[in-house]
Amino acid sequence: MSSSLFMFIPFLKKLLTEVDPSEVKRVEDILKANNIPYRIKSSNPRGPFGRHYDSRTYQQIVMPLYIDAQRPTISYIVYVRKGDYDRAVSLI
């Protein structure tokens, strides 16, 4: 069984919303180990124009100066099948 799930998101149930990629990776590893299909969607709350502005600003100002500035925020949403939701919640 494939760990990746190609289904339309409206047919899935949201398991987790997280901004920390390491936490998403931890959940992904748990789901893979237990053969639970999942889908991850990333989103930027600022939209396409804000994302473009953030990336240009980060590239031109922050990167050359190596300042402890925050990277642009990206939210990761993990979805699973509705039938696997309770099991996935108990595992994570």
Name the residue type at position 53: Y
Mean pLDDT to the nearest integer, 12-19: 88
Options 2.40.30, 3.30.2420, 3.30.70, 2.60.120; which CATH number does 9-48+74-91 get?
A: 3.30.70
Question: pLDDT value at position 11?
Answer: 81
- 29 vs 71: CA distance, rounded Å: 25
Q: How many CB atoms lie within 10 A of CB 77?
A: 17
Beta bridge partners of 38: 4, 80
Find out whether 50 and 43 touch, Cβ atoms under 8 Å: no
Task: Identify the H or E element spanning 88.
Answer: helix 85-91
Domain boundaries of the chain, sorted by first residue: 9-48+74-91
Question: pLDDT value at position 10?
Answer: 75
Question: pLDDT value at position 45?
Answer: 65
- Indicate whether this model's pTM tops 0.75: no
Question: pLDDT value at position 32?
Answer: 94
